[in-house]
């Protein structure tokens, strides 16, 4: 039996992971003969870490996903130009045609440039923030001390702004909406985030209408100019669907897929940013990776019952000194009847915690400056676990001390309190031993063995001895 030919169009986060998952299940290529096509010249890299590259904590080589052995597995610098579904062939950008038994579209998405006069991809000083090449160009252009405008105050814009401020640029975030990250945050949280970033040196122009870009000057707003040597555009992305739609494959926002990751042509699949599944938000690596696993199960025959049912969305900002998590439905106000909503707003300390609960489960949350709560609540959300009844503890991110409260004096310590855990000695046993004549720490130790294990209770035993010597 010859292996089936599987062509993967795209070698980004989704395509690379899919290829790995295939290799893991079918290391000798018995079932699947893979052709992987990568448009960029680089081996696959981890796009999630690019903000770290801009911020300077990592170099480009540290975000590479694959070692040199992949050079022989992937065709770099080539993309799919067209699909002939009738003959099951793809024609590549270099003119070659390849037959497929299954075609996997992992073409990702492209940065979107808002329609602003003068703001074109080839205008001097304009950079998108999507690829490793983008990163390297930004790094080459972003000189310390220079003014930089970041156009778009979503997740990516804020990560870019944080990184560039860390490199010593004077950064202004220009955002068309009244608060930052409006998809994930409510207005209160947006304000806390802006305040936190302001303290780190980022400036903001919110509710801003951009009328034009003048190279060398900056962005023209309704109410004046935002000076900028360079503009980093983070205004959103658009799924790359052109080849699919040209071939008559159903495309809405992205390429429409079912739970088997299939398009309306059962020989053609799509995963990652280019795909649109009812249960997945666009642009998240977690969805892409889970889709890659399911599709590898299906195409290698490892588990033909595998299905992709969606991924709960958790947004986590990766910006040094700013801890932010947002998940689920957060656009619900405190005081509503249809959900239990808790909110703690502490802008002067950069903290905001909002928790939306329905049917005793986490429906949504925003957590800024509350890392422990973020960790716990994310797990409750992902696992659909009931929210612990001590809601305040959940919001604070720690269980309140409800047991073993330290007594302030030996007299107040309850008799049953374990003083020496190593030898199971309670306070009452020490008192009894004392009354039987063991009237000193050494004597108590030999009578009860307290302090003779790890020795950490010595201070408490000394305290009890002192108390006993004054009371008897």
Which of 376, 430, 431, 468 binds other proteins (CB under 8 A)? It is: 376
Q: How far is the CB of 285 from other proteins (least distance, A)?
A: 8
Q: Which stretch binds other proteins (CB under 8 A): 44-52, 108-116, 168-176, 242-250?
A: 44-52
DSSP notation for 42-81: SPPB-GGGHHHHHHTSS-GGGGB-S-GGGGGTEEET--EE
Q: How far is the CB of 327 from other proteins (least distance, A)?
A: 10
CA distance 376 to 365: 11
Which two structure tokens, joined as six digits, stand for 417? 């309190």
- Residue 382 binds other proteins, judged by CB under 8 A: yes
Which of 383, 415, 435, 469 binds other proteins (CB under 8 A)? It is: 383
Which of 57, 120, 264, 436 binds other proteins (CB under 8 A)? It is: 57
Closest to other proteins by CB, 71 or 209: 71
- Residues contacting residue 188 through CB under 8 Å, at least 6 positions apart: 343, 345, 352, 354
Residue environment code for 89-103, b if the CB has 16+ CB neighbours within 10 A, otherwise e: ebebeeeeebebebb
Which of 242, 423, 432, 439 binds other proteins (CB under 8 A)? It is: 423
Which of 116, 142, 366, 374 binds other proteins (CB under 8 A)? It is: 374
- Residue 407 binds other proteins, judged by CB under 8 A: no
Closest to other proteins by CB, 86 or 404: 404
Closest to other proteins by CB, 372 or 466: 372
Rounded (10°) CA dihedral 330, 336, 338, 343: 40
Per-residue mark of binding to other proteins, 276-315 (x: CB under 8 A): ----------x---------------------------x-
- Residue 52 binds other proteins, judged by CB under 8 A: yes
100 three-class SS? coil
Q: How far is the CB of 189 from other proteins (least distance, A)?
A: 17
Residue environment code for 421-444, b if the CB has 16+ CB neighbours within 10 A, otherwise e: eebebbbebbbebbeeebeebeeb
Which two structure tokens, joined as six digits, stand for 62? 């540290």
- Residues contacting residue 407 through CB under 8 Å, at least 6 positions apart: 413, 414, 417
Size of the residue set binding other proteins (CB under 8 A) = 46
Site for other proteins in 144-173 (CB under 8 A): none
Beta carbons within 10 angstroms of residue 31's beta carbon: 17
Burial of residue 268 (number of CB atoms within 10 Å: 0-12, 13-18, 19+): buried
Per CB under 8 A, residues contacting other proteins are: 46, 48-49, 52, 57-58, 62-67, 286, 314, 316, 318, 323, 325, 371-372, 374-376, 378-379, 382-383, 385-386, 388-389, 397, 399-400, 402-403, 421-424, 449, 452-456
């Amino acid at each position: 039996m010859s292996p089936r030919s599987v062509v993967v169009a795209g070698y980004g986060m989704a395509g690379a992971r899919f290829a790995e998952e295939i290799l893991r299940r079918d290391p000798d290529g018995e079932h699947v003969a893979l052709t992987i096509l990568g448009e960029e010249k680089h081996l696959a890299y981890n796009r999630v870490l690019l903000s770290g590259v801009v911020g300077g904590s990592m170099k480009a080589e540290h975000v590479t996903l694959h070692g040199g052995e992949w050079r022989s597995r992937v065709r770099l610098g080539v993309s799919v130009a067209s699909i002939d579904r009738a003959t099951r062939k793809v024609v590549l950008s270099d003119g070659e045609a390849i037959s497929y038994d299954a075609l996997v579209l992992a073409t990702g998405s492209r940065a979107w440039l808002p329609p602003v006069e003068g703001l074109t991809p080839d205008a001097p000083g304009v950079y998108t923030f999507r690829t490793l090449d983008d990163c390297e160009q930004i790094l080459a252009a972003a000189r310390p001390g220079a003014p930089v405008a970041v156009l778009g105050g979503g997740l990516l814009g804020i990560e870019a702004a944080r990184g560039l401020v860390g490199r010593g640029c004077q950064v202004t975030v220009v955002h068309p909406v009244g608060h930052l990250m409006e998809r994930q945050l409510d207005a209160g949280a947006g304000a806390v985030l802006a305040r936190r970033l302001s303290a780190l040196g980022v400036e903001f122009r919110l509710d801003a209408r951009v009328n034009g870009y003048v190279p060398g000057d900056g962005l023209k707003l309704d109410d004046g100019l935002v000076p900028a040597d360079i503009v980093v555009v983070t205004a959103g992305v658009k799924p790359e669907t052109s080849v699919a739609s040209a071939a008559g494959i159903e495309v809405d926002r992205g390429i429409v897929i079912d739970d088997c990751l299939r398009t309306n042509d059962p020989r053609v699949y799509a995963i990652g940013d280019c795909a649109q599944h009812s249960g997945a938000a666009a642009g998240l690596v977690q969805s892409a990776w889970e889709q890659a696993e399911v599709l590898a199960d299906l195409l290698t025959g490892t588990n033909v019952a595998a299905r992709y049912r969606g991924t709960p969305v958790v947004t986590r900002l990766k910006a040094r000194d700013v801890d932010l998590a947002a998940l689920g439905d957060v656009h619900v106000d405190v005081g509503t009847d249809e959900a239990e909503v808790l909110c703690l707003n502490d802008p002067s300390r950069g903290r905001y915690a909002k928790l939306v609960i329905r049917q005793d489960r986490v429906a949504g949350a925003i957590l800024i400056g509350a890392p422990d709560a973020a960790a716990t609540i994310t797990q409750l959300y992902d696992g659909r676990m009931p929210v612990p009844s001590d809601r305040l503890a959940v919001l604070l991110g720690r269980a309140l001390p409800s047991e073993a409260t330290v007594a302030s004096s030996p007299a107040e310590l309850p008799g049953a309190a374990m003083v020496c855990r190593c030898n199971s000695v309670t306070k009452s046993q020490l008192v009894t031993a004392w009354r039987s004549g063991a009237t000193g720490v050494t004597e108590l130790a030999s009578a009860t063995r307290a302090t003779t294990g790890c020795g950490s209770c010595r201070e408490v035993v000394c305290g009890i001895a002192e108390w006993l010597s004054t009371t008897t």
